């Protein structure tokens, strides 16, 4: 099997073909964001037919790294490629705390490498009823960006300014309230809402409704454990919850850095 190599945006079709082999379908807009702010590492297939596997590592300053899109082609399963890719991802991350969201297939690999479960994430997608512009929530302006980046760093415990700046340039809408914000951006059939930071469950609800207001497509939001009451509230408004919560995991620390009690939704599952 070939060495692990760093891919470029020109290799995006290979990544999408690989994930299709595993029954995944990530919109091109999400892949382009991962290529812009993260690193996509891959192993070429020994038979010359595309990729045998890949993994995405996004480093946030010196404190944190997120790992996602860990994929191995079906015909190369159970040959140790997943472990090899994850060991490489940990080497790339260096001394940073590493976090990820696992599938039930990947979790045993991560646990063997020292990851520990910390909570859960639910995928919610579909039409969202009752969107509005609640009082106390307003559209962000460029003057808000520095405070938004500082708040994100406080909550996540890391400097994610490069990723957020790239995301804000793509955003359809960014809304803010006292101590919170939400970013809404389009990825294929979905208006993705994330990240979301909120000081309370009520504020989180208002930010989500404002971010989704006037969306021209279904909403997608991945909810973390910050405010468990958001999950039944959101499904009652329309977006269906995925079949099972996905475990969030961390490596190199007992818990995620920052104040995750206010972290409602990630940028992407693969980017934290």
Contact 223, 230 (CB under 8 A): yes
Per-residue pLDDT tens over the stretch 180-208: 999 999 999 999 999 999 999 999 999 99
Residue 2: its pLDDT value, please?
Answer: 74
According to DSSP, the residues that pair with 100 across neighbouring strands are 249
* Per-residue pLDDT tens digits for 221-238: 999 999 999 999 999 999
- pLDDT band at residue 1 under the 50/70/90 scheme: low
Of the chain, the percentage scoring pLDDT greater than 90 comes to 92
pLDDT (tens digit, 9 = 90+) per residue, 151-176? 999 999 999 999 999 999 999 999 99
Region 251-269: what's the mean pLDDT? Answer: 97
**How high is the pLDDT of residue 97?**
98
123-247 belongs to CATH 3.40.190.10: no
- Determine the average pLDDT of the residues in 142-147: 97
Comparing 4-118 with 123-247, is the CATH topology the same?
Answer: yes
Class of domain 4-118: alpha beta
111-142 per-position pLDDT tens digit: 999 999 999 999 999 999 988 889 999 999 99
Q: What is this structure's pTM?
A: 0.96
Per-domain boundaries in the chain: 4-118, 123-247
SS (H, E, C) the chain: CCCEEECCHHHHHHHHHHHHHCCCCCCHHHHHHHHHHCEEEEEECCCCCCEEEEEEEEEECCCEEEEEEEEECHHHCCCCHHHHHHHHHHHHHCCCEEEEECCCCCHHHHHHCCCEEEEEEEEEEECCCCCCCCCCCEECCHHHHHHHHHHHHHHHCCCCHHHHHHHHHHCCEEEEECCEEEEEEEECCEEEEEEEECCCHHHHHHHHHHHHCCCCCEEEEEECCCCCCHHHHHHHCCCEECCCCEEEEEECCCCCCCCHHHEEECCCCCCC
Specify the pLDDT at position 176. 98
């Amino acid at each position: 099997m070939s060495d692990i190599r760093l891919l470029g945006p020109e290799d995006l079709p290979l990544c999408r073909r690989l994930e299709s082999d595993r029954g995944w379908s990530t919109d091109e807009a999400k892949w382009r964001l991962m290529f812009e702010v993260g690193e996509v590492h891959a192993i070429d297939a020994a038979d010359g037919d595309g990729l045998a596997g890949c993994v995405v590592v996004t480093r946030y300053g010196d404190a944190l790294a997120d790992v996602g899109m860990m994929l191995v082609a079906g015909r190369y399963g159970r040959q140790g490629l997943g472990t090899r890719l994850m060991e490489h991802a940990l080497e790339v991350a260096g001394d940073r705390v590493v976090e990820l969201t696992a599938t039930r297939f990947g979790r045993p690999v991560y646990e063997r490498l020292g990851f520990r479960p910390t909570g859960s994430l639910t995928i919610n997608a579909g039409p969202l009823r009752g969107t509005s512009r609640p009082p106390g929530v307003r559209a962000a302006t460029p003057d808000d960006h520095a405070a938004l980046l500082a708040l994100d760093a406080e909550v996540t415990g890391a400097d994610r300014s490069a990723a957020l700046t790239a995301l804000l340039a793509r955003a359809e809408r960014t809304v803010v309230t006292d101590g919170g914000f939400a970013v809404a951006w389009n990825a294929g059939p979905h208006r993705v809402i994330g990240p979301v930071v909120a000081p309370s469950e009520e504020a989180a609800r208002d930010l989500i409704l404002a971010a989704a207001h006037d969306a021209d497509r279904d909403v997608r939001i991945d909810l973390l454990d910050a405010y468990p009451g958001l999950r039944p509230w959101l499904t009652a408004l329309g977006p269906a919850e995925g079949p099972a919560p996905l475990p969030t995991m961390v490596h190199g620390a007992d818990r995620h850095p920052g104040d995750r009690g206010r972290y409602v939704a990630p940028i992407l599952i693969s980017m934290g």
